[in-house]
Chain A
């Protein structure tokens, strides 16, 4: 059994960040947007898989997974979305069905769902207002070539996420609402924003333990001392609705969402 506490990746020097990996050999960490960044442990089933609708694991399956993860941030299918494509996503996305895949993911279709082929027509039929733009999110060589920024709205909830498709269908979410994060979607994930108070981690991990949820990794990030704290908790089992409600009931929690496991 290993338990280690260590500093986060060298994202931005003004951030404080702590990561606790429990029961796992912690992954090697590099800046998440660096091409060729070392990933968490590679699984055989990541390589022989996923089972997916073609034609591109990075541009179709990975893009779909980014959409699937993102919808969790607004608690369901967004009503409005601005989808900004960077690099190869912008240059070759249409031919690869990247637009269809992201839209399908936002609507809850998984990478092996044959409805992905018709996702844009379905979006129109459902009256969803999604727009695409080509953009440059960073410099060549620094920002991963297959990167997308999504700004999503559903009811009163609005959220922005930046994520990359790393190849072979694997993804990495690197930013949520301006907070640097590292979410692979290979676990069920809880994200939350809390006021920066003492004992917040203990309180939340306590709640999870009571609900029988085993934590795989936990990372806390804040932009400044006393500023809001952003917590990303990867857990082994799908947390129940009650867990989220319990966390939400804490007075110093600003918002929290569950992100579905989208990996193989």
Chain B
């Protein structure tokens, strides 16, 4: 797989093709598997993503602690806000839906991780549904997203414990922004700017879940991560460029992650987890979860 997005963009532009195409070709070469087989596996992931969105939107999902659940349905059925009826609201509800399913130990696709699993399906499915985009194009977008995630894994990190939330929902926002930009007809170069635009907006984001549970703020941070991806897509599609190349933004994310205090890396030692309310909720809810486990 590529270790630099710049190389993938160069190859795609030179060949007059897409990032999805060069990503699938590289994966096929690396793994010795035919492209059709890789697309099939991505198709299975797509089906699980759709299932998680559907399940989450019913509003029946409750996390073990009861801290999160039911909010995806509120966006679907609740009072209209200024963006009701737009894909923006559909994207937000899907992000909450998948992450509520995840918190309830339901089945999701970790893309790139479980903690950031809501962003990619929300952005891709929300926009594809709004524009009537078919499965083949969504599967291509998943390949592009996988390429971007692989570059982040190589150059920085995809683990909140290593790099904070910028390495989870931040990376997911970059993946979703680049993939959706291409899915909507943007060029490989535009997709690269979308990655940079999304990830610059999540630099420094800490991982501070209450009690260490992937619930609060994770569920909502997936929704805001998706919103950042939408902002990046809108800007990139309008032809806006970001002066620092995506690879360097990703490197920066890695550097910030390495410098980040351990309290902000999934340990519940700082951030929202360490607020008086955060501590109280974690104490109450964790005791409840632990019941017979001792």
Contact = CB atoms under 8 A, between A and B. Distances in A.
A54 B212 contact: no
Contacts of B184: none
Interface stretch (A55-63, A176-184, A238-246, A247-255): A55-63
B9 interface: no
Interface in A1-50: 35-36, 38-39, 41-50
A99 B293 contact: yes
Q: Is the interface of A mostly helix, strand, loop or mixed?
A: mixed
A35 B215 CA distance: 25
Q: Is the interface of B mostly helix, strand, loop or mixed?
A: helix
A171 to B, nearest CB: 12
Contacts of A51: 44-45, 48, 107-110
A47 B286 contact: no
Contacts of B41: 45, 49
A83 to B, nearest CB: 13
A166 interface: yes
A55 B161 contact: no
Interface residues of B, number: 70
A237 interface: no
Interface stretch (A67-75, A113-121, A190-198, A202-210): A113-121
B23 interface: yes
Interface in A107-162: 112, 114, 116-117, 120-121, 140, 145-146
B154 A38 contact: yes
16 contacts: A44-B27, A44-B143, A45-B41, A47-B149, A47-B150, A49-B41, A55-B63, A56-B114, A56-B115, A58-B159, A88-B212, A88-B267, A92-B211, A92-B213, A96-B213, A168-B158
Interface of B: 1, 23-24, 27, 30-31, 38, 41-42, 44-45, 48, 63-65, 101-115, 117, 120, 142-143, 145-147, 149-150, 153-154, 157-162, 167, 175, 209, 211-215, 218, 254, 258, 262, 265-269, 282, 286, 289-290, 292-293
Given A45-B42, A57-B117, 12 more contacts: A36-B162, A44-B147, A46-B153, A49-B111, A52-B108, A54-B105, A56-B214, A57-B115, A94-B286, A94-B289, A145-B162, A167-B157
